[in-house]
């Protein structure tokens, strides 16, 4: 079978996989608006969205609380999934993730610093600090991970990320403890949650996430060539440096924007790209980033919304933050990946 025939066979399977994933995401969106302290049947959710709410209480809950919360989960989940898939492709490191490699911790430290020291209280004010912190932390991790004779390896990058994350977490806690306002914001925000946000916050951060998503998806064809190695990619005419800079800017916008709003949620960007690759393999698509990136952008909000829904139901009427449940699931996944990489390097 020729190359053109193989590509023609992949297309319908890839579209079907994306359609099924999107359908699962649509179901989770409905469940996100139905379940919580006040249970709302799905048919009433639908009627409320169409402007025919059964009563004013349900209308207020759906439009003022759950719809913005669900939309925020969609936007930030897609951002974290895209940034994780992009980082893993750029570094050819299956352990890469904005939370593990210190990007989220850098953004979190910068946000707390801007609130505690400079007194900035609006998302539009401290989001710029989130971008700067994410960029600085990513550069520091790559510099530390590249030290030594062997250069940069996946495990060294992961260890450097853990070290930088621990350092930044300590500094963040120190700043928060010295300022009551910063501490009050940090206590809830640091766990990673979709709650207590409104549509205004989403509208403010959406342009940054949108630009980051466009830059990330535009990298997809180049990532397929980059997977062959830098030398081969250059021989095929790829400007490797330009692609990496574009990727870093995309990761900074996606991660910084998401962290500024929902807090430093970890493991979404690690787990979802691996799930996307497994599904793509079973579907016969292969490691084609033109499909893996969009698939990660759909599957990541599925994971984040599922964790958010579970957090509302497990300890009802008290909520468990989505970031805690994602970390509970992602921790063992990360350990299993590290063990497999260590065994492969022996």
pLDDT, one tens digit per residue, over 140-173 is 887 887 776 666 666 677 778 888 888 888 888 8
pLDDT at 26: 96
Residue 277's contacts (CB-CB under 8 Å, 6 or more residues apart) are: 287, 292
Q: Into how many domains does the chain fold? A: 1
Across 280-305, average pLDDT: 90
Residue 82's contacts (CB-CB under 8 Å, 6 or more residues apart) are: 212, 213, 216, 217, 250, 254, 293, 296, 297, 300
Neighbouring C-beta atoms of residue 210, cutoff 10 Å:
15
3-17, 219-233, 297-311: least confidently modelled range: 3-17
CATH of the domain at 278: 1.10.3470.10
pLDDT at 154: 62
pLDDT at 15: 87
- List the one residue out of 300, 309, 299 whose CA is nearest residue 98: 300
Neighbouring C-beta atoms of residue 35, cutoff 10 Å:
19
- List the one residue out of 142, 168, 157 whose CA is nearest residue 338: 157
pLDDT at 307: 92
To the nearest whole percent, how much of the chain has pLDDT over 90?
A: 22
Q: What is the span of the domain harbouring residue 77? A: 3-345
Alpha carbon distance 81, 85 (integer Å)? 6
Summarize pLDDT for 225-267 with one digit per residue, the tens. 888 887 888 888 888 878 888 888 898 889 888 888 888 888 8
pLDDT at 28: 95
pLDDT at 85: 93
Average pLDDT in the chain: 83
Higher pLDDT, 38 or 49: 49
pLDDT band at residue 20 using 50, 70 and 90 as cut-offs:
very high
- List the one residue out of 238, 206, 202 whose CA is nearest residue 223: 238
Across 43-62, average pLDDT: 86
pLDDT at residue 112 is higher than 60: yes
89-93, 155-159, 302-306: least confidently modelled range: 155-159
pTM of the prediction? 0.85
CA-to-CA separations, 230 to 214, 248, 268, 283, in angstroms, rounded: 23, 17, 27, 28
CA-to-CA separations, 82 to 57, 76, 88, 166, 238, in angstroms, rounded: 36, 10, 10, 24, 22
């Amino acid at each position: 079978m020729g190359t053109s025939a193989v590509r023609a066979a992949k297309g319908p399977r890839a579209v079907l996989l994306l359609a099924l994933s999107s359908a699962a995401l649509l179901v989770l969106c409905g469940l996100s608006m139905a379940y919580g302290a006040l249970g709302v049947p799905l048919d009433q959710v639908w009627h409320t969205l169409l402007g025919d709410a059964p009563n004013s209480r349900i209308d207020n809950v759906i439009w003022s609380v759950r719809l913005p919360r669900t939309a925020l989960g969609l936007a930030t989940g897609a951002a974290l999934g895209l940034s994780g898939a992009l980082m893993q492709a750029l570094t050819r490191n299956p352990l890469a993730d904005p939370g593990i490699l210190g990007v989220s911790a850098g953004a979190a430290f910068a946000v707390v610093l801007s609130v505690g020291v400079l007194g900035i209280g609006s998302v539009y004010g401290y989001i710029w600090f989130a971008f700067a912190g994410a960029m600085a932390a990513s550069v520091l991790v790559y510099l530390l991970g590249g030290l030594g004779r062997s250069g940069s390896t996946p495990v060294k990058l992961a260890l450097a990320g853990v070290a930088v994350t621990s350092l930044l977490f300590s500094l963040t806690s120190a700043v928060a403890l010295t300022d009551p306002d910063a501490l009050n914001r940090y206590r809830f925000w640091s766990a990673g949650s979709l709650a207590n946000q409104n549509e205004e916050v989403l509208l403010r951060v959406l342009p940054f996430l949108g630009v980051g998503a466009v830059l990330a998806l535009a990298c997809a064809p180049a990532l397929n060539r980059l997977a062959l190695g830098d030398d081969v990619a250059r021989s095929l005419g790829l400007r490797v440096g330009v692609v990496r800079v574009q990727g870093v800017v995309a990761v900074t916008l996606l991660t910084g924007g998401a962290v500024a709003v929902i807090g430093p949620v970890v493991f979404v960007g690690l787990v979802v790209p691996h799930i996307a690759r497994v599904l793509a393999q079973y579907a016969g698509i292969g490691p084609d980033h033109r499909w893996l990136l969009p698939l990660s952008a759909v599957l990541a909000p599925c994971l984040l919304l599922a964790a958010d829904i579970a957090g509302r139901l497990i300890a009802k009427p008290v909520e468990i933050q989505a970031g805690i449940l994602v970390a509970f699931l992602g921790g063992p996944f990360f350990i299993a990946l590290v063990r497999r990489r260590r065994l492969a390097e022996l």
